[in-house]
Amino acid sequence: MSFMFRTMYRLGFKPWDSGVTPPELKEIIEGPDARAPGKALDLGCGTGTNAIYMAQHGWEVTAIDFVPRAIAMAKAKAAAAKVAPRLIRGDVTRLDDLGVGGGYTLVFDLGCLHSIPQARRDAYAAGVTKAAAPGADFLVWGFYARPSPVINARLTKEEVEQLFSKAWEIVRVWGGEQSDRFPGRWYHLRRR
Ligand SMILES: C[S@@+](CC[C@H](N)C(=O)[O-])C[C@H]1O[C@@H](n2cnc3c(N)ncnc32)[C@H](O)[C@@H]1O
């Protein structure tokens, strides 16, 4: 999987990299019930659009991606935006090894967990659960069905429940209506 993402970044083929922060994250950061800025963790941060956005809104951001080119691009974008999220090249299923620490009040994953191999998803869940503070928000987006045979990414609601329901309350699940362009769905979880 790492090889595939590295190749895509090398070829400049990164259709997810819209440069636009989704309204679902903006709601948490700037909406009527905006959370007080704290520590945020962006898992599979790509070129850093959302890590930079959160840093611009006063959050202390740690953002991780395993593709060196993605992290380099994120660093350049952050420097241009004059913010300094902590950008780490590493595997989000090994958060302990990366020394990310704990106390995160917001965890964000836009399109990373759904492509993590099944065998590593328990490790991902354990790491995220350990890093999050009680009451933390966790916003995840993933394909609930493979959008095409060549895209190996899928995350079902049942799997989210199985991975997280012990330590997290599932606050809301939405998306996937027929009008959506992709078979994707948002999950909002809250750390117990
Ligand atoms: C679909 S892209 C989304 C990137 C970013 N969240 C965005 O919305 O622009 C998924 C990202 O997750 C990264 N990724 C996938 N598995 C990972 C892992 N195990 N550890 C770290 N990064 C990972 C990929 O390199 C890629 O940048």
Pocket mutation for ligand 1, best pick of 1, 66, 89, 97 (most atoms within 8 Å of C-beta): 66
Structure confidence at residue 179 (pLDDT): 57
- Around ligand 1, the residues with Cβ closer than 6 Å are 1, 5, 16-17, 44-46, 49, 64-67, 70, 91-93, 110-112, 115-116
**61 class by beta-carbon count within 10 Å (0-12 exposed, 13-18 middle, 19+ buried):** buried
Asked if residue 101 belongs to a domain, the reply is yes
Structure confidence at residue 145 (pLDDT): 85
Structure confidence at residue 86 (pLDDT): 98
Structure confidence at residue 182 (pLDDT): 76
Q: How far apart are CA 69 and CA 29, in angstroms?
A: 27
Asked if residue 59 belongs to a domain, the reply is yes
Residues of the chain with confidence (pLDDT) below 50: none
Give the total number of structural domains in the chain: 1
For residue 43, what are the β-bridge partners?
A: 64
The CATH number for 133's domain is 3.40.50.150
Q: How far apart are CA 83 and CA 157, in angstroms?
A: 35
pTM of the model: 0.97
Question: Where in the sequence is the domain holding 84, given as residue range(s)?
Answer: 2-6+23-191
Asked if residue 64 belongs to a domain, the reply is yes
